[in-house]
Structure 1
Amino acid sequence: MTYPWPQDVLSAIKSGEISPSEAFRILQEMDNIVPRADSAGAQYSQAQRIDNILHELDNLIGLTEVKKLVREIYAFIEIQKRREKEKLNTEPLVLHMIFKGNPGTGKTTVARILGKIFNEMGVLSRGHLIEVERADLVGEYIGHTAQKTREQLKKAYGGILFIDEAYSLARGGEKDFGKEAIDCMVKAMEDHKDELILILAGYQKEMENFLQTNPGLKSRFPIHINFPDYHEPELMQIAEQMCLKRQYQLTSQTKAALIKVLNLSEKGAEENFGNARTVRNIIEKAIRRQAVRLISKQHISREELMLIEPGDLAEVGQCESV
């Protein structure tokens, strides 16, 4: 059995297909081969693989400034590596980040792409993403928080620990166990600085307040990325992209109905509006309603199976945005 990607080797270990020692041998062989095969068997050099990952980033809808900053980070790392080869002074690679933005603006997706890039560049040995929130880190009694936090950190070594709604760790004041989780993370950032990247994410205002209440954190997270809300055309593109992947189609009348359901951002989105998440929930509910509409018909054409009609969007405005 062949394992074209490191992720495949790790999955094989978990499933018991190969032993850890065999996995180590395979990974060593991968490191010694410049071209690597993808899941389809095509051979790519490191530069081509990175270019493919950046192409994946470019295919995301919107996020113009985010894409620009990600490319800046990539260029910075690459140039520092080249300076090091030429025995020139280099800047330290401190890549811990703050992601600010509302739900559904692509923060987790971009974090995964960064993990892939950093893995290809040798910054991270695995490049995987561990996504956690307060409940995964904060315990119920003294000492429990440090244990839980260390467990999550251990899972993330070699990759990225992505902490959503990170400001919640400081919401209880000095006596709250969340402070213990922060202290544990700060220590890990020092002790495992070459094995771990932390990304703290959450609403923009709350994250800014969080950093002000803990000034020591701000200097440890030099990269701040703002994720703006999507505009109406971008939300419609996202809806069409989701339908295309699922082999559904929106009629022009359905698109007009969807615009009304989304309650356009120009009029001021509600606080719990979930951007792409809201669009996804609306589309998924419309697909279920389409199924109910068609189930009683004996003969259904291919076109009918694909079309989402305006009536399928009825009542989906009540769809949860989380």
Structure 2
Amino acid sequence: MVQELLSKDDLTKFNLQQEYDNSDIQSVIDILESELLGLKPVKNRIREIAALLLVDKLRKKLGLVSSSPGLNMSFTGSPGTGKTTVASRMADILYKLGYSRKGHLITVTRDDLVGQYIGHTAPKTREILKKAMGGILFIDEAYYLYKPDNERDYGAEAIEILLQVMENQRDDLVVILAGYKNKMQKFYDSNPGLSSRIANHVDFPDYSAEELVKIGKIMLEEQQYQLTKEAEDVFLEYVKKRMEKPLFANARSIRNALDRARMRQANRIFESVGRVLTKADLVTIVPEDILKSSLFNS
């Protein structure tokens, strides 16, 4: 059978590189590289998924039988590790390869899907699903949909509707469920129907302190600020301390910390009224702007 298949189609030729170039996937990969520092395992996984989809597309062109690859995904990891950003780029890839009709991303949480009284959940969930059709529905902290200890909770109804759509309209909607890894595993254990519909599991590692400092410098450069060398050393110390505290959210926490540093810098400049300022004064973050954080004074 295999020999017959090959002898029939072995003269059909195609240029894989040309197909890849025509898809313009590389532009999305390049954007992902520029947007996110590190995360090599995640980026490799996205490339693997893109490669599978491209090969599947080529197989269909050659008339080979090919079941549609499962596209629903699970993104696990701490807050601020780039899950939403990667989901957005994944939406672009699916659109460029023709696996998504619109290529848009709808991001929701439990509150967008689950109602507070009988008869409220179904229309809320269906309205969100209607908006997401032709693209990707990204459900953050998806495990909050399931609250088995609360008999009056309507999350189970939202899950049931979601399961029906994932089965009956799987060619027109991709669902990405996201959240902390251990909580997501418990969520899947409690909902085997959902677990069986997830084909791709992608784990997002936490950033190192050094990576977070680099991310912070990129954030500052985008707003035309810079750290002095001494301030960069202090900021690394700040990041290491902050990582040990509760509610740390990787790049999200770094952005918040730098916003506060900019406020302190502005206040420092304001208090120096009467002194002639230079452009360097306006763009430079110095150690004092970071050391005044409560983290160093607690």
* Pairwise TM-score range, normalised by the shorter structure: 0.7 to 0.9
Do the aligned partners of residues 315 and 207 (structure 1) sit closer, same or farther apart at CA in structure 2, a change above 3 Å counting?
A: farther
Q: Distance in 1 between matches of 2:204 and 2:226?
A: 28
| Residue 45 of structure 2: aligned partner | 69
Q: Distance in 2 between matches of 1:293 and 1:52?
A: 42
| Residue 238 of structure 1: aligned partner | 215
**Pairs within 5 Å for 1:212-223:** 212-223=189-200
In the TM superposition, residue 89 of structure 1 has moved relative to its aligned partner by 2.1
Task: Report SS of the residue matched to 1:263.
Answer: helix
| Residue 179 of structure 1: aligned partner | 156
Which structure has the greater CA radius of gyration? 2
With structure 1 as the length reference, what TM-score do the two structures score?
Answer: 0.80
Identity of aligned residues (%): 42
In the TM superposition, residue 310 of structure 1 has moved relative to its aligned partner by 1.0
| Residue 17 of structure 2: aligned partner | none
Over residues 207-231 of structure 1, what are the superposed CA-to-partner deviations in whole Å (9 max), with x where a residue is unaligned? 0011001111111001000001000
| Residue 39 of structure 1: aligned partner | none
| Residue 99 of structure 1: aligned partner | 75
| Residue 145 of structure 1: aligned partner | 121
Unaligned stretches of 5+ residues in structure 2? 1-19
CA contact (8 A) 2:209 2:240 kept: no
| Residue 196 of structure 1: aligned partner | 173
| Residue 32 of structure 2: aligned partner | 57
| Residue 258 of structure 2: aligned partner | 283
| Residue 187 of structure 2: aligned partner | 210
| Residue 37 of structure 1: aligned partner | none
CA contact (8 A) 2:23 2:97 kept: no
Q: Does residue 129 of the first structure (1) align with residue 105 of the second (2)?
A: yes
Between stretches 285-294 and 308-317, larger displacement belongs to: 308-317
Match of 1:229 among 206, 209, 216: 206
Q: Does residue 166 of the first structure (1) align with residue 158 of the second (2)?
A: no
Q: How many residues align?
A: 273
| Residue 305 of structure 1: aligned partner | 282
Unaligned stretches of 5+ residues in structure 1? 1-44
Structure with the bigger RCO (C-alpha within 8 Å, sep 6+) is 2
| Residue 90 of structure 1: aligned partner | 66
Q: Distance in 1 between matches of 2:293 and 2:99?
A: 44
CA contact (8 A) 2:210 2:236 kept: no
Q: Distance in 2 between matches of 1:46 and 1:173?
A: 52
- AA aligned opposite 2:166: M
CA contact (8 A) 2:23 2:96 kept: no
- AA aligned opposite 2:79: P
Between stretches 254-263 and 76-85, larger displacement belongs to: 254-263
Do the aligned partners of residues 102 and 47 (structure 1) sit closer, same or farther apart at CA in structure 2, a change above 3 Å counting?
A: same
| Residue 3 of structure 2: aligned partner | none
In the TM superposition, residue 316 of structure 1 has moved relative to its aligned partner by 3.4
Q: Does residue 260 of the first structure (1) align with residue 237 of the second (2)?
A: yes
